[in-house]
Amino acid sequence: MLKVSIVGASGYVGGEALRILLGHPNVEVQQVTSEAHAGKFVHTVHPNLRKRTMLKFSSIEDLQPCDFLFLALPHKQSSTRIKDLMQAAPKMCDLAADFRLNNEAGYQRFYDMDQHPAADLLPKFIYGIPELHREAIQGADLVTGAGCLATASILSVYPIVKAGLLTDPTIVLEGKTGSSAAGNKANMSTHHPERSGVMRSYAPTGHRHTAEIVQELTMDGKEPDIRFSATSIEAVRGILVTAHCSVDSSLTDKDLWKAYRAAYGKEPFIRIVKERTGLYRYPEPKILSGSNYCDVGFQKAPDRPWVVAMAAIDNLMKGAAGNGVQAMNLMCGFEETAGLEFSGMHP
């Protein structure tokens, strides 16, 4: 059994990682840390885990060696102590944003960091979307989780970009996200009287995940012009991304099906959703809650030079913890779907 520990397990992402790993057939959860809750039972913070574990949180200072380490710390914390944390395990997945970008310039621009605390390690971390980097992840010791909005955005249009179908590098993306994406630290934007009923544009431009989207959709030296906006909606979980891409007006549905099947036909966690009828004929995050699936879809404007692409995920799962466990499975030689078989709920 692989001995796995989670640093920062009291947050939403750390809690989801723990929930998955407790049911993983190849894993023994060895230790979970939380500075604010050290000494307390896990279920006092994650009540859904009652009778699933009697683990208690410990301090990061008491972290013991293990086989695999998940980091679920707030941004800027893992990078300041990464060299020490690397001594605890031979393989690691950092679910925060500290190592998602390939170069320091992106952090200076999008994260207001004058200097990255561990810039020398940035090229050593593999960006952890298995659908894009499966072979690299399989041979990696250091993998970084991807941003939740970035994951949905990238996966929505990746087949179009990969197939060379764009006639213009400009891609306009709108991401709608639930409140859990903001984490478990209370603030006015997540306070119920302020959040309830909202459809609030909180990052019309300049969202940090834009850097990841540009990085991962740059192919053959061609960098896309990403125009990304983010909107808060009244939901706890879930992300829906809608993307507008310029293509040749003669492009057909058959051409798009070919591109999406070529990219995702063998992917265990991506489903192409494009039905003629029904409430769920396009991707819908509601039915993905708790699952590691990403549903993608598309609609070509008839006789017009543009396509609308869509992707839906659970932001805490395929957008964070689930994606990280999928990467761990690849890194450790397990079945890629191990521990991640839950299909979501309906209704």
In the chain, what are the domain boundaries?
A: 2-124, 149-315
Mean pLDDT of the chain: 96
Q: How far apart are CA 19 and CA 46, in angstroms?
A: 9
Stretch 51-68: mean pLDDT: 97
Give residue-wise pLDDT tens across range 106-165. 999 999 888 999 999 999 999 999 999 999 999 999 999 999 999 999 999 999 999 999
Whether the model pTM is above 0.75: yes
**The pLDDT of residue 24:** 98
How would you classify the pairing of strands 306-313 and 239-247? antiparallel
Tokens of 62: 């008491």
Residue type, 342: F
As a 3-state breakdown, the chain gives helix, strand, coil percent values, each rounded to 5, of 30, 25, 45
The residue-averaged pLDDT of 327-342 equals 98
- Residue-wise pLDDT tens digits, 209-242: 999 999 999 999 999 999 999 999 999 999 999 9
Residue 3 dihedral angles phi and psi, to the nearest 5°:
-85, 115
pLDDT attached to residue 205: 96
Residue 191 has pLDDT above 90, yes or no: no
Q: Rg of the chain over CA atoms, in angstroms? A: 20
CATH of 2-124, one of 2.40.10.220, 3.40.1450.10, 1.20.200.10, 3.40.50.720: 3.40.50.720
Encoded tokens for 230: 């983010």
Per-residue pLDDT averaged across 304-330, rounded?
98
Has residue 41 got a pLDDT over 80?
A: yes
**Residue 296 predicted with pLDDT over 80:** yes
Count how many Cα atoms sit within 13 Å of the Cα of residue 244 in the half-sphere of its side chain. 10
CATH number of 149-315: 3.30.360.10
Judge contact between 267 and 329, C-beta under 8 A.
no
Residues involved in catalysis: 148
- Beta bridge partners of residue 242, listed in sequence order: 174, 310
Closest CA relative to residue 146, chosen from 290, 7, 13? 13
CA distances from 220 to 156, 162, 223 (A): 19, 10, 8
Beta carbons of 165 and 251 less than 8 angstroms apart:
yes
* Identity of the residue numbered 184: N
DSSP character at residue 301: P
Nearest to 166 by CA among 213, 216, 205, 223: 223
Average pLDDT (32-52) is 97
The amino acid present at 151, given as its one-letter code, is T
- In this prediction, residue 237 carries a pLDDT of 95
- Contact (Cβ atoms closer than 8 angstroms) between residue 93 and residue 99: no
Task: Determine contact, residues 227/174, Cβ cutoff 8 Å.
Answer: no
CA distance 192 to 170: 36
For residues 56 and 9, give the distance between their C-alpha atoms in angstroms, rounded to a whole number.
10
330 pLDDT band, cuts 50/70/90, is very high
Q: How many CB atoms lie within 10 A of CB 74?
A: 13
**What pairs with residue 296 in β-bridges?**
272, 311
The angle at the Cα of 116, spanning 113 to 120, to the nearest 5 degrees, equals 160
- Grade residue 183 by pLDDT with cuts at 50, 70 and 90: confident
Q: Which of 200, 176, 173, 4 is nearest to 92 (CA)?
A: 4
pLDDT at 113: 86
| Helix 130-138 × helix 148-162 angle, to 10° | 100
Tell me: cis bond preceding 347? Omega within 30 of 0 counts.
yes
